């Protein structure tokens, strides 16, 4: 019993210093490069894929922090991305995300945005909102690509789930920014 108590006392400083917002990121500590599987066939009936190695760094590149904030830098890429079935290739981005170091629960509910980054996976891949930015336009009775009035929006996982990869529920958008929408969160 005394040994367990002593061990607990010895481990207490380490447990008090553990800060997941700083220490949990998958860091690129050995120069690992990003890679992906690009679709080359005719999805979804007969997709085929080619493996592409990039010269861009994978995973989280740097984590910096102050007493109030944590900044995470990544290219938004990891190794072995894909096999997604939409056209386009992954292109390195220069992301810097800021998180509160000591988050507190919101006193007022705030709706998460439907488009753009709403979070970050531990490997530095952004999590986008549930929409693909398509929305109905009442004046033309149309659903344009990347626009509309925001009356209703297309939910990515239901409309495009079959083209997302199985690793992260992710794909690159038109400018090559690889991102997740649906899984694994």
Express each pLDDT in 32-75 by its tens digit.
999 999 888 777 778 889 999 999 999 999 999 999 999 999 99
For residue 90, give Cα distances in angstroms to 3, 38, 49, 102.
53, 8, 14, 33
CA distance 37 to 48: 9
Domain range for residue 90?
Answer: 21-102+113-180
Decide if 36 is inside a domain.
yes
Domain membership flag for residue 82: yes
Number of domains composing the chain: 1
Decide if 10 is inside a domain: no
Residue 8 covered by a domain: no
Closest alpha carbon to 89 in 174, 24, 150, 14? 174
pLDDT tens readout for residues 123-170: 999 998 887 777 777 776 665 565 677 677 777 877 777 888 888 889
Establish if 144 belongs to a structural domain: yes
Distance CA 98, CA 119 (A): 10
What residues does 170 pair with on adjacent strands? 180
């Amino acid at each position: 019993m005394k040994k367990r108590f002593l061990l607990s006392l010895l481990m207490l400083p380490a447990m008090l210093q553990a800060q997941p917002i700083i220490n949990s990121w998958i860091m690129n500590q050995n120069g690992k490069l990003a890679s992906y599987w690009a679709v080359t066939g005719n999805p979804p009936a007969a997709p085929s894929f080619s493996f592409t190695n990039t010269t861009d760094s994978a995973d989280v590149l740097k984590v910096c922090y102050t007493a109030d904030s944590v900044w995470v830098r990544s290219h938004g890429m990891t190794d072995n991305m894909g096999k997604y079935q939409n056209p386009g290739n992954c292109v390195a981005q220069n992301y810097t995300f800021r998180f509160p170091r000591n988050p507190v629960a919101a006193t007022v509910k705030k709706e998460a945005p439907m488009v753009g980054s709403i979070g970050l996976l531990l490997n530095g891949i952004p999590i986008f909102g549930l929409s693909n930015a398509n929305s109905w336009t009442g004046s033309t009775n149309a659903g344009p690509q990347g626009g509309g009035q925001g009356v209703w929006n297309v939910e990515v996982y239901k409309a495009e789930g079959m083209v997302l990869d199985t690793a992260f529920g992710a794909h690159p958008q038109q400018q090559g920014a690889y991102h997740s929408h649906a899984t694994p969160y």
